[in-house]
Structure 1
Amino acid sequence: MSVKKVVLAYSGGLDTSAIVPWLKDNYQCEVIAFVANVGQGDEELAGVEQKAINSGASSCYVVDLRQELVNEVIYPTLKTGAVYEGQYLLGTSMARPVIARAQVKLALELGADALCHGCTGKGNDQVRFESCFAALAPQLKVIAPWREWQFNSRQSLLDYLAEKNVPTTASATKIYSRDANLWHISHEGGELEDPWCEPSNQVWMWTKSPEQAPDHPAYVELAFERGQLTHVNGKQLDGVAAIELLNELGSEHGVGRIDIVENRLVGMKSRGCYETPGGTILLAGLKGLEALVYDRSSLKYREEIGLEFAQLVYDGRWFTPLKDALLAAATSLAEQLTGEVVIKLYKGNVTVAKRRSVNTLYSEAFATFEGDEVYDQKDAAGFIRLYSLASRIRALHQQKD
């Protein structure tokens, strides 16, 4: 299939800077750079349009997707309680469907006939992006240079850019591969490739170490309505501002660091360090509220939804009927999640200090160890006898045999 115009997911880093001239060399096509602002920070976005033009792109579009990321992906996912392999809050994974959808939208508006990404052939992101492309615009060709070109190292890419007279601030001594957005920042490479090696201080970029965090705790009050955050410390904030504030508070107290070896979708294991300070606080708040208002069966079902949803998001299956079904169930349950939670932050720890809800199922009158007039303890005998009836019958049969 010949390509006349391609929209490239562009970051301004080494890989995508090299992809622009490579596309022009190998496909003889017009290259349009698409930059997604998902909250990675002003430093990464500074001058990115000019970088794209200097690399050979005919134009560059920077699209602010932060509100979409929060309101359409992060907040809904939080209601499911999704956590991948018990620790990962899906920071990179959650941004991909928003980015891919905006890239497809731009390509269709501009009459492009191809999409391009800079994901490697070893990672999860190639699957995530291309699964979204397939669901949204299957007629567009997808170009994945890392699965086609001859380059295999940072130095070979730098040499190519020098040959093409494309300026770059990248160097061959870069240690880590990082991905940042409003929700988190990830770190891979360097000493992290050895699971026996503890991360050095230069790995972490957002959060203080617990050892350097303040010696006094901080308290954060979160208010939720139907499972969605509305206020932080009594102040009404939109999603982007709330997460930015919680990131700041959590980072100061060493909250949100994890160091994991995870199972990639493509089959290999990888080791990464993630910082998700605001997300860690938010999830703790929601779980604290869930404990107050969900009955045992509802909580168990929400946990099952969370496991399935985490896998779905990680695997890039956002634009699927299963996502809609799981999210509908979680959203229905979350109708009860209205209330306030006070979170205590102290040297990397996040604990629920206080919680209350108009929908609480907790009753001090029933739970008290003091005298009460609402619970007849004799009723427990009949309950236990019926609850253990199968075990009783089985034991009687065994005794008879």
Structure 2
Amino acid sequence: MKVVLAYSGGLDTTVLLTWLQEKYNAEVICYCANVGQEEELDGLEEKALKHGAVKCIVDNIEEEFAKDYIFPMMQANAIYEGTYLLGTSIARPLIAKRMMDIVLEEGAEAICHGATGKGNDQVRFELTAYAIKPDIKIIAPWRMPEDFPFKGRTDMINYLEKRGIPCQVSAKKPYSTDRNLLHISFEGGILEDPWNEADESMWVMTKPLSQAKDEAEYIEISFEKGVPVAVNGEALSPAALMRKLNELGCEHAIGRIDIVENRFTGMKDRGIYETPGGTILQAAHRAMESICMDREVMHLRDSLIPKYATLVYNGFWFAPEREMLQAAVEKSQETVTGDVRLKLFKGAVHTVGRKSDLSLYNPELVSFDEEGGYDQTDATGFIKLNALRLRVRAAMQNK
């Protein structure tokens, strides 16, 4: 059997690589996606081949991740449960898609991942896999206790030592992390008690407020049809633009959140996230829309945000309902073109200016000093018609 394994080279996936060969006599193709996690990936292919993989693919998909996943999601202003910018959620379907591309290219029969049976990632990986190849075999070892009897790190280390397989294991962090171009997450360990404050030494992508710049910084972000294309007048590739905004957000301590969210599997989970560039981008996009989008289009799109965000969170990126919503979102963004000026200061993003050749903002209409073609007497009938049902109700109550 030929299996594509989601591989990082760490303890867990080194065990999986060996276990797949022993359990299934499998030909294992290791796959590692570079989505901006800033981890050292050099030597990964050599390590995988040394431990028995028939092939190892280290795949830089940062540009695709930003262009085809982060930016379309940002066009929708997707925020899960009002707080979470979906940093981990949006990376999973792309990683799973690339794994399935390799399955099809290599004629593999199965994929294997190390996601646990409690979390969301198992769902995100597998929904994507089934959407692409309905008959794919999925090996999820942590859901196979009879065949995969490991209880923790000690068992895994002993397993590798017995087979003479070296695996350098760093001191275990008191939490788990996941990083990409959009964010970094921290979960588990000492963070499982929602009363515990995260230690300042934990943070990676943002400076603490006490070390943030003491002077505000003004920046401009340019959009074309709801997609960011430049920062301070400099055209940037999607991934480069995200890195630039992450740097700016870091310096001003922007983008930290500490939340308890509802997992798809039913349990509540405490998560801590840093999303510096995404937080800046979301504020800028909202500001751009405010002068370019028709009121009813905006309100209708906004009513779809909870559904869209839930689909992303739950792993339904490749579902027809998400694709239908995306088409509506893209239509809503046709006029969202122009520039937004922001002030970054001490953890906050302030919108201070916006302009567009497609702006619907008419200063003459709203001015207190000019009529601007607006007949104020028209408001009398407008108000009376809107009040009709209220007046009828009041008359009935007063009888």
TM-score range, shorter chain: over 0.9
Percentage identity across paired residues of the two chains: 49
- CA distance in 2: counterparts of 1:274 and 1:173, whole angstroms: 20
Structure 1 residues 119 and 382: alpha-carbon distance in aligned structure 2, compared to 1, 3 A threshold: same
C-alpha displacement of 1:172:
5.6
8 Å CA contact 1:256–1:275 kept in 2: the answer is yes
Question: What is the 5 A alignment of 1:226-375?
Answer: 226-375=225-374
Task: Tell me the SS of whatever aligns to 1:311.
Answer: helix
Question: What is the 5 A alignment of 1:19-34?
Answer: 19-34=16-31
**Gapped runs of 5+ residues in structure 2?**
none
- The aligned residue for residue 395 of structure 2 is 396
8 Å CA contact 2:124–2:316 kept in 1: the answer is yes
- CA distance in 1: counterparts of 2:341 and 2:47, whole angstroms: 45
CA offsets, 1:218-266, max 9 Å, x none?
A: 1110010111111110011110111111111111111111111110000
Question: What is the 5 A alignment of 1:64-83?
Answer: 64-83=60-79
Question: What is the 5 A alignment of 1:1-400?
Answer: 4-41=1-38, 43-148=39-144, 149-171=148-170, 173-400=172-399
- CA distance in 2: counterparts of 1:61 and 1:240, whole angstroms: 21
- CA distance in 2: counterparts of 1:178 and 1:55, whole angstroms: 25
- CA distance in 2: counterparts of 1:45 and 1:306, whole angstroms: 36
Task: Tell me the SS of whatever aligns to 1:287.
Answer: helix
What TM-score comes out, normalization by structure 2 length?
0.96
8 Å CA contact 2:244–2:277 kept in 1: the answer is yes
- CA distance in 2: counterparts of 1:134 and 1:140, whole angstroms: 7
Q: For residue 318 of structure 2, what is the amino acid of its counterpart?
A: F
What TM-score comes out, normalization by structure 1 length?
0.95
C-alpha displacement of 1:67:
1.7
- CA distance in 1: counterparts of 2:151 and 2:40, whole angstroms: 24
8 Å CA contact 1:5–1:31 kept in 2: the answer is yes
8 Å CA contact 1:220–1:343 kept in 2: the answer is yes
- CA distance in 2: counterparts of 1:167 and 1:306, whole angstroms: 48
Task: Tell me the SS of whatever aligns to 1:82.
Answer: coil
C-alpha displacement of 1:373:
4.8
Task: Tell me the SS of whatever aligns to 2:211.
Answer: coil
- CA distance in 2: counterparts of 1:173 and 1:100, whole angstroms: 27
- CA distance in 2: counterparts of 1:145 and 1:182, whole angstroms: 28
Q: For residue 126 of structure 2, what is the amino acid of its counterpart?
A: E
CA offsets, 1:122-150, max 9 Å, x none?
A: 10000010001111112221100111111
- CA distance in 1: counterparts of 2:149 and 2:11, whole angstroms: 15
Moved more, 235-244 or 102-111: 102-111
Structure 1 residues 373 and 265: alpha-carbon distance in aligned structure 2, compared to 1, 3 A threshold: closer
Moved more, 224-233 or 369-378: 369-378
8 Å CA contact 1:253–1:347 kept in 2: the answer is yes
**Gapped runs of 5+ residues in structure 1?**
none
- CA distance in 2: counterparts of 1:83 and 1:373, whole angstroms: 38
8 Å CA contact 1:54–1:167 kept in 2: the answer is no
C-alpha displacement of 1:44:
3.2
Task: Tell me the SS of whatever aligns to 1:83.
Answer: coil
C-alpha displacement of 1:368:
2.0
Task: Tell me the SS of whatever aligns to 1:23.
Answer: helix
- CA distance in 2: counterparts of 1:44 and 1:325, whole angstroms: 38
CA offsets, 1:83-131, max 9 Å, x none?
A: 1111111111111111111111112211211111110111000001000
Q: For residue 281 of structure 2, what is the amino acid of its counterpart?
A: L
Task: Tell me the SS of whatever aligns to 1:62.
Answer: strand
C-alpha displacement of 1:163:
2.0
Moved more, 179-188 or 365-374: 365-374
C-alpha displacement of 1:154:
2.0
Q: For residue 317 of structure 1, what is the amino acid of its counterpart?
A: F
CA offsets, 1:2-42, max 9 Å, x none?
A: xx11110111222111111111121121111111111112x
C-alpha displacement of 1:371:
4.4
8 Å CA contact 2:364–2:370 kept in 1: the answer is no
Provide runs of 4+ in structure 1 moved above 4 Å.
none
CA offsets, 1:200-233, max 9 Å, x none?
A: 0122111101221011011110010111111110
Task: Tell me the SS of whatever aligns to 1:115.
Answer: strand
Q: For residue 87 of structure 1, what is the amino acid of its counterpart?
A: T
Task: Tell me the SS of whatever aligns to 2:181.
Answer: coil
Task: Tell me the SS of whatever aligns to 2:200.
Answer: coil
8 Å CA contact 1:128–1:315 kept in 2: the answer is yes
Alpha carbon RMSD of aligned pairs, Å?
Answer: 1.4
8 Å CA contact 1:155–1:172 kept in 2: the answer is no
8 Å CA contact 2:90–2:312 kept in 1: the answer is yes
Task: Tell me the SS of whatever aligns to 1:289.
Answer: helix
- CA distance in 1: counterparts of 2:120 and 2:48, whole angstroms: 25
